[in-house]
């Protein structure tokens, strides 16, 4: 990433912009298409305020396109608006609106194909299917953009920021809402997503598949159809993110499917149906996270093994942990559980009695989901009392042998 920023700094600040081409309705060059045709590598195109309806435009030169007072490129609901290919291109301060939709092609407001050293920043994109679509692109940055989709059904909507087969990318400080997936990664490596807000998307706030060696830092994923999906990936770092209010019958803060050798640290999971759902995942360290007011804090399927849950805090979740198997191959230790009622005789801060986070009722719900209707019933409260009196009623295999008496300091 340091090399990427160095490349962009040299490109933007270096003496590479030979000419300035001014485009405006009252100028000698009145259309952006004319300005692009006239430009040479290293030129700057200044696009003045106005509405430009010019069909699909293509930039394949190393130019710097700057909008003055947020000029509008309007796709008239039928065209892809701007396509970039090549290297050393900057797009800044443009308002993209009304890109077309196609069931056969991924029309986007801004499409980047076979490109290197691209900088997309401080733009706004509204009423589009795909916002920014990048394919086979390396060493590029997408930052400080506002992307608001037209929020149709899942099958007729595109993704806010979509990357396919890219590497060394930086997606930073963008606002994305109203799309199918806010951010989508497929076959993307050695890239980072940080400080983005992805909310009110139909399916996932973030969805990535087959995308190894990436980091996801300090993002907020709020009120999406199903939160975040992480699939068929290894070496992922997810730190300092907020996952909140992802509610629904199939909604998760994070869905982990076939993930390995990854880290989930210092995140906040607040008011999700399921904060973390894990299937076929191994060697993941889940530490120093806050799980608060979720339906299920953690669902660990029997197909998961060698995962570590430590120094997390659990507050006010309906169920702390649920599993569909009796064989436990994962380790829980030094977590704080607000339902723990044990004691600490030597006052070392660690409970003397192990905590069983899988309740009998959660096991019943796992086998028979319809029994969830009894959650607040008198019968279930009796079952909870009996379980505390006779701990052997609960799952004996999954325990936290060192539960914390007070919340961990995170």
CA distance 320 to 127: 40
Closest to 408 measured CA to CA, from 357, 333, 344, 353: 333
If you average pLDDT over residues 128-144, what whole number do you get?
Answer: 97
Could you give the CA distance from residue 25 to residue 17 in angstroms, rounded to a whole number? 23
Residue 371 pLDDT class (50, 70, 90 cuts): low
* Distance separating alpha carbons of residues 385 and 369, to the nearest angstrom: 22
Contact 60, 89 (CB under 8 A): no
> What number is the average pLDDT over the span 140-164?
88
Percentage of the residues of the chain whose pLDDT score is greater than 70: 84
Amino acid 312: pLDDT: 98
To the nearest whole percent, how much of the chain has pLDDT over 90?
A: 73
Range 226-229, long-range pairs (CB < 8 A, 24+ positions): 226/250, 226/251, 226/252, 226/255, 227/251, 227/252, 227/253, 227/254, 227/255, 227/272, 228/204, 228/252, 228/253, 228/254, 228/255, 229/204, 229/254, 229/255, 229/257
**Model confidence at 304: pLDDT above 90:** yes
Give me the count of residues in the chain: 410
Tell me the pLDDT tens digit for each residue of 16-44.
Answer: 446 999 999 899 999 999 999 999 999 99
The residues facing 17 across adjacent strands are none
What's this model's pTM, rounded to 2 decimal places?
0.89
Mean pLDDT value across residues 352-358: 89
Residue 106: per-residue pLDDT: 84
389 has pLDDT over 60: no
pLDDT above 70 (res 219): yes
Q: Measured between alpha carbons, how far is 165 from 211 in angstroms, rounded to an integer?
A: 9
Average pLDDT over residues 100-105: 78
Q: Please give the C-alpha separations between residue 201 and each of 185, 277, 394, in angstroms, as whole numbers.
A: 16, 19, 38
Residue 396 pLDDT level (bands cut at 50, 70, 90):
low
Q: What are the C-alpha distances in Å from 60 to residues 43, 87, 89, 137?
A: 12, 8, 8, 14
pLDDT value, residue 365: 65
At 328, the pLDDT band (50, 70, 90 cuts) reads confident
Closest among 335, 340, 362 to 353, alpha carbons compared: 340
Return the higher-pLDDT residue of 103 and 218.
218
Q: Roughly how many angstroms between the first and final C-alpha of the chain, as a whole number?
A: 28
Confidence of residue 388 (pLDDT cuts 50, 70, 90): low
Least Cα distance to 162 among 149, 153, 152, 234 occurs for 149
Going along the chain from its start, the domains and CATH numbers come out as 1-225 (2.160.20.10), 229-246+254-358+395-410 (no CATH)
76, 192, 300 from 125: Cα distances, Å: 13, 22, 39
Q: Compute CA distances 392 → 47, 130, 164, 297, 399, whole Å.
A: 72, 53, 50, 22, 12
Average pLDDT over residues 391-404: 74
Residue 9 has pLDDT above 50, yes or no: no
pLDDT at 356: 86
């Amino acid at each position: 990433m340091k090399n990427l920023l160095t490349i962009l700094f040299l490109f933007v600040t270096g003496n590479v912009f030979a000419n300035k081409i001014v485009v405006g309705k009252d100028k000698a060059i009145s259309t952006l298409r004319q300005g692009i045709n006239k430009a040479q590598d290293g030129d700057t195109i200044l696009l003045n305020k106005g509405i430009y309806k010019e069909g699909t435009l293509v930039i394949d030169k190393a130019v710097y396109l700057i909008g003055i007072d947020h000029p509008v490129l309007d796709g008239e609901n039928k065209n892809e608006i701007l396509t970039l290919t090549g290297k050393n291109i900057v797009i800044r301060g443009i308002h993209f609106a009304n890109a077309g939709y196609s069931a056969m092609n991924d029309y986007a407001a801004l499409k980047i194909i076979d490109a290197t050293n691209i900088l997309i920043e401080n733009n706004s994109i509204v009423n589009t299917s795909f916002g920014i679509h990048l394919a086979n692109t390396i060493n590029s940055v997408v930052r400080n953009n506002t992307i608001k989709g037209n929020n149709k059904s899942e099958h007729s909507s595109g993704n806010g920021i979509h990357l396919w087969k890219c590497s060394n990318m930086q997606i930073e400080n963008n606002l994305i809402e109203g799309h199918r997936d806010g951010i989508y990664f497929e076959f993307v490596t050695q890239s980072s997503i940080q400080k983005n807000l992805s909310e009110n998307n139909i399916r996932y706030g973030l969805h990535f598949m087959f995308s190894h060696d990436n980091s996801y830092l300090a993002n907020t994923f709020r009120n999406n159809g199903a939160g975040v999906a992480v699939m068929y990936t290894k070496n992922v770092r997810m730190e300092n993110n907020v996952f909140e209010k992802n509610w629904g019958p199939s909604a998760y803060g994070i869905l982990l499917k076939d993930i390995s050798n990854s880290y989930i640290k210092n995140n906040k999971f607040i008011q999700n149906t399921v904060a973390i759902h894990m299937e076929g995942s191994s060697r993941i360290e889940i530490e120093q996270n806050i799980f608060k007011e979720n339906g299920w804090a953690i669902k660990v399927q029997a197909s998961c093994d060698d995962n570590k849950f430590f120094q997390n805090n659990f507050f006010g979740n309906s169920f702390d942990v649920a599993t569909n198997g009796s064989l436990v191959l994962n380790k829980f230790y030094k977590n704080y559980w607000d339902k723990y009622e044990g004691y600490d005789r030597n006052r070392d801060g660690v409970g003397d009695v192990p905590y069983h986070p899988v309740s009998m009722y959660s096991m019943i719900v796992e086998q028979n989901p319809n029994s969830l209707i009894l959650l607040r019933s008198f019968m279930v409260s009796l079952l909870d009392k009996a379980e505390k009196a006779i701990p052997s009623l609960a799952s004996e295999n999954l325990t936290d042998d060192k539960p914390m008496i007070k919340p961990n300091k995170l």
